[in-house]
Amino acid sequence: MISATPTIVAIETNSAWVVILAVSLVTMPIALVLRRVVDRPGALSSSVLLGLPLGLPLVAALLFQKSVLPEISVLRPLGPDLFDKADWNLLHFMFVSDGEGLIPYVFSGAPGRWLLILGLSFSSFMLVRRFAGTIALRRLINRCAEPDPERDCFLIRRVAELAAESGLKRAPRIRLLPDHVSGAFVTGGTNPSILISPVLVEALEPDELDGIVAHELAHIVAKDLPVMVVAGVLRDLVAWNPVAHLALRRLVAEREFEADRHAAAVTGKPLAVASSLVKTCELMRVRSRLEPQLALGFLRGRARLRRRVSNLLALADGRAVVRASGRVPYVAAACLAAILGLQAGAKVAEQADFAIVWDAPDTESVPLWMNSRISPDKTAIAGRQADRDGRKKKGKRVTMAGFAGARYPVFGNGYALREKDLPRWTKAVGVWAKRRGLPARTLMAEVRSGWRAVPVFSSPRIGPFGFYRLDLFLQRRLPGPQR
């Protein structure tokens, strides 16, 4: 049986956080499906499509949000708050309905600022981490050496030739990594450089070295480095959103796969490119001690390496294509994904009267309040007996006597009332509040502006959660307390 004390209720889905999460959840699968439909290299156009789950949610939040955070409040049964609440200006009512009765609750606290602090902490940590990675990368570049024209003549010549075959107007600068760092990376924006370790140059065969160089040149051709920097910053800004992390990982993997296909197309030797991947991976695991945060990581994970090698084997067998599809299919796919994502954000922002309740209540789990005219002593006895019966009969409806004339009304941990009894119940609570010296008029005003939570689905709860539509409840004037 569900408890009558829900822990948290989330309101105001038109907040920036909810819009960002909803648009991410919609845009991410759409972008992945469309990318699979257009199963050809797309260079920068492909990056724009897969980067939509990172940038579009922020655009939707700016367009549709009406608050930064969702309204998230802790609910408590009415009784304890009537006894304990010191500031009656903060007493706001919500009547949770399951289609049969109403359970009165009040908002007793809002941990929204803690969500803000938590989100800012995540984002700040990721941004500081990125800044530290930038500093580490600059220090690494400063320790790199220039290639020797005589000793490294083959590397210099192959970089120039492959750059021309890749369509670059000029060859990028070559820098040799320090001895303790292995691998190959691309750095720089308008003036890109290829950082490669001398050990790697010596360990690879000429065809394999061509594959590594062509791979890094592919990142320069496709503008992958600035794209990944922008995508990484967007991810860091919403570091609390798990979909953003998945989107960035998928974008990084996609750019590596396309660079492999470009290298295979330029060199005409996909098997040599696959062999260079395996050798570079083993060498980096043995020798590398530092992985620059902003450089394009050459390899990340065994599963991804296996997939990259499998793709190259498919190219060698003729089961895959390397010819680019052009920009039109990707631009069309990106526009379609953007339209659907923005529509989802607009729909979510419209549903401001929506609530998600954790540990959703059920009127069958609590006593039913009824207005009966009995003496105060009998009311107290009946209330205590109802509590005892409620503990004995778990899950069965128990009738609690009314408390309109009771000196010590029994609220318990929660109870339900019929909607038609709400005016009498309000009058009874007003009388009790007045006798306790509490501002009864404030209580009446809050009841008049209270909210009713009506189940969205036929069942009031799905598992531990309940989904409700919120309405302002009883706009008409309710009866005031007796004088």
For residue 397, the enclosing domain spans 8-14+72-108+352-472
Distance (Å, rounded) from C-alpha 331 to C-alpha 48? Answer: 8
Per-residue pLDDT 10s for the chain (483 aa) are: 334 455 555 556 678 888 899 899 999 999 999 998 887 777 788 889 999 999 999 999 888 877 777 777 777 766 655 555 544 444 577 788 776 778 888 776 665 667 778 888 999 999 999 999 889 888 988 999 998 888 889 999 999 999 999 888 889 999 998 887 888 888 887 788 999 998 888 889 999 999 999 999 999 988 888 999 999 999 999 999 999 999 999 999 889 988 998 898 888 888 999 999 888 888 777 654 444 433 344 344 555 788 888 888 888 877 666 666 677 888 899 999 999 999 988 888 776 667 777 776 666 666 777 654 433 334 444 444 444 444 444 433 333 334 333 333 444 456 777 777 777 777 777 777 777 666 666 666 666 667 778 887 777 667 777 778 777 765 454 444 444
Measuring CA to CA, which residue among 63, 69, 78 is closest to residue 5?
78
The answer to the question of residue 176 being in a domain is yes
**Same domain for 385 and 451:** yes
Helices (H), 166-241: 198-203, 206-221, 224-237
- Token pair 């009058």 in the structure block, residue: 427
The answer to the question of residue 51 being in a domain is no
**Same domain for 93 and 223:** no
**Same domain for 321 and 398:** no
Under 8 Å between Cβ of 330 and 49? yes
**Same domain for 226 and 150:** yes
Give the SS3 label for residue 93: strand
Q: Please compute, for residue 433, the number of CA atoms within 13 A of its CA located in the half-sphere on the CB side.
A: 22
**Same domain for 191 and 100:** no
Number of domains composing the chain = 2
**Same domain for 287 and 158:** yes
Exposed / middle / buried, residue 248 (Cβ in 10 Å: 0-12, 13-18, 19+): buried
Q: What is the dihedral of CA 196, 293, 193, 181, to 10 degrees?
A: -20
Number of other residues whose CB lies within 10 A of the CB of residue 283: 17
